[in-house]
Chain A
Amino acid sequence: EAGVAQSPRYKIIEKRQSVAFWCNPISGHATLYWYQQILGQGPKLLIQFQNNGVVDDSQLPKDRFSAERLKGVDSTLKIQPAKLEDSAVYLCASSRMDRARYNEQFFGPGTRLTVL
């Protein structure tokens, strides 16, 4: 089966500009996640969707970050305006939603954002 798709793979912008990332999860996966991975650190969850509803956005800087998952499939993550500290790799992951204790998350290749 096809994996999680993300685009673009790389993006360079200047501070105060806006940027958007796109994610297409694995077909049939109800849960979608966006992570931020700063260089030298592990990924940190920004937001989790279940179908098109938000489950957890406690770590999302809502003054500048927004995300949506219309129709419960694709998702976009937007930063407006960007700051230097937003330079990171943005990872999208998806998983099934069933009664198992743990549903494996499958990760996309990520989008590397550089803010100058």
Chain B
Amino acid sequence: AQSVTQLDSHVSVSEGTPVLLRCNYSSSYSPSLFWYVQHPNKGLQLLLKYTSAATLVKGINGFEAEFKKSETSFHLTKPSAHMSDAAEYFCVVSDAGGKLIFGQGTELSVKP
């Protein structure tokens, strides 16, 4: 069965400093992996996706993630945080039928 574990429930950074949100996955086959962002009172938005092409995936708003099979990781990074990045971030794996399985979420706070 597929699953994801987000290693931090809350991450706090200062504006202009790098962001690292960690995610490990478990899958019995080559997975499809995603990061979604959820701003307060707004719907979930896809940041980026990995579907067995390039292992370094670039998404919207300057975010990127690297698929590392040897480490079963798919960490989300951004070189410089903005105040508008404050939100809940979800690491997601898709099963063979396309069903999305969400992690518990990481709340990102950005301090001025």
Size of the B side of the interface (Cβ < 8 Å), in residues, is 21
How many angstroms between the C-alpha atoms of A18 and B105 in the bound complex?
30
Q: Would B46 and A104 count as touching, CB distance under 8 A?
A: yes
Whole-angstrom distance from the CB of A106 to the nearest CB of chain B?
A: 8
Measured CB to CB, the residues of B under 8 A from A are: 32, 41-46, 49, 51-52, 90, 92, 94, 97-100, 102-105
Measured CB to CB, the residues of A under 8 A from B are: 3-4, 40-45, 48, 55-56, 91, 93, 101-110
Can you show 23 pairs from A to B with CB atoms below 8 A apart?
A3-B43, A40-B105, A42-B105, A43-B44, A43-B90, A43-B100, A45-B99, A45-B100, A48-B99, A101-B32, A101-B52, A102-B49, A102-B51, A103-B98, A104-B46, A104-B49, A105-B46, A105-B100, A107-B43, A107-B44, A108-B43, A109-B42, A110-B43
